[in-house]
Amino acid sequence: MILKVIALFFSFFLLTFSKVTSLSDIKTMNFIVKEEVKNNSDIKTKIYKVKYILPNQLKKEIIYPEMNKGELYIYTDGKKITYLPFFDETTVESGDAEGDYIVNVVSKIREKERTDAAFKEKYHKGEISSMQFDKNLRTKFNKFEKVDGYMIPVEIEIYDGQQMIAKISLSNISLNGVVKQEEFKIKK
């Protein structure tokens, strides 16, 4: 009898605490991105902080390389705002966060998770290996981590046809924390 109670408790514990939560429940994300872009034999590395209010408000602050440190790229209210501290210059263009690859990946995963039960099951187990974004652009998921009950891809490769063009690694991931609207405005 005691073994049955322990087994029942253990089963309940696993089901309660190992459940993966739907990405649709994420309202905000904060994380660090290491982006390595391959151009012929040259690799350019950027590291930036991201603040993201889903579905389409995103702020990227470059922290590496040193010459780009402090650059801001903000996608909000149907526009892209760029601040270049080296020139102390701000530009505003029409466009939204759909132009940002991170937003595209998160949006596509969330949409497929809502509409495709087989995808949802495989995604929650970390078994999705790649997604096609258009005729040539494909994202390969190398590693998933469970963060606050959500399955998050943390190591990603981007391919154009058969050619790998970028590696993206996410770290210091925080979900559903406070992200204030004023953080999406340029402060000089």
Q: Is residue 26 part of a domain?
A: yes
Q: Is residue 141 part of a domain?
A: yes
What is the mean pLDDT of the segment spanning 64-85?
A: 92
Q: Is residue 45 part of a domain?
A: yes
Q: Is residue 88 part of a domain?
A: no
43-63 confidence digits (pLDDT tens):
999 999 999 998 888 999 999
What is the mean pLDDT of the segment spanning 136-141?
A: 91
Q: Is residue 77 part of a domain?
A: no
Contact between 121 and 130 under an 8 Å Cβ cutoff? The reply is no
Residue-range definition of the domain harbouring residue 153: 20-71+97-179
pTM attached to this predicted model: 0.84
Q: What's the total number of domains in the chain?
A: 1
Tally Cβ neighbours within 10 Å of residue 27. 13
CATH assignment at residue 125 = 2.50.20.10
126-135 confidence digits (pLDDT tens):
899 999 987 8
What is the mean pLDDT of the segment spanning 67-83?
A: 91
Q: Is residue 186 part of a domain?
A: no
Closest among 177, 131, 176, 178 to 153, alpha carbons compared: 131
